[in-house]
Amino acid sequence: MFLSGAPVDDFFRPTLFNYLPVLDALIVSLLWTFGFIIMLNQRLNAEMTEANEQLQIDITQRKQAEAALQESHTKLERIHIIPKRNQVRPRGRGCLSEAF
């Protein structure tokens, strides 16, 4: 504008045309901020749901593993491979001392 010789005496005057870039930047930054917060909230909710589902799967698998372990322990007790939990072993000489 300076080089064309146009009058520039009202270049910095507070008119609507001069307020538009400031208002535009304010509105756009506000919308970007709200969009970011909403996007972050959705992502955190998705991660929490996924972690909760994985925790439920882990709990179910642990219960199944404990049941299988208890069942195998019971089978071994029945065939006398391992002593029962409340059974007291006799004191005295051990199996190695009986060999000598």
Tens-place pLDDT, residues 11-22: 677 777 778 888
Check if the beta carbon of residue 72 is closer than 8 Å to that of residue 78.
no
For the cut 60, the answer to whether the pLDDT of residue 32 exceeds it is yes
For the cut 70, the answer to whether the pLDDT of residue 95 exceeds it is no
**pTM of the full structure:** 0.53
Q: Give the integer Cα–Cα distance in Å for 57 and 30.
A: 41
**77 or 51, higher pLDDT:** 51
Structure tokens given for 1: 């504008």
pLDDT band at residue 58 under the 50/70/90 scheme: very high
Q: Give the integer Cα–Cα distance in Å for 70 and 59.
A: 16
Q: Give the integer Cα–Cα distance in Å for 40 and 44.
A: 6
- In the chain, where the domains are located: 16-80
**46 or 88, higher pLDDT:** 46
- The sign of the torsion formed by the CA atoms of 63, 69, 73, 76 equals positive
Q: What percent of the chain has pLDDT over 90?
A: 47
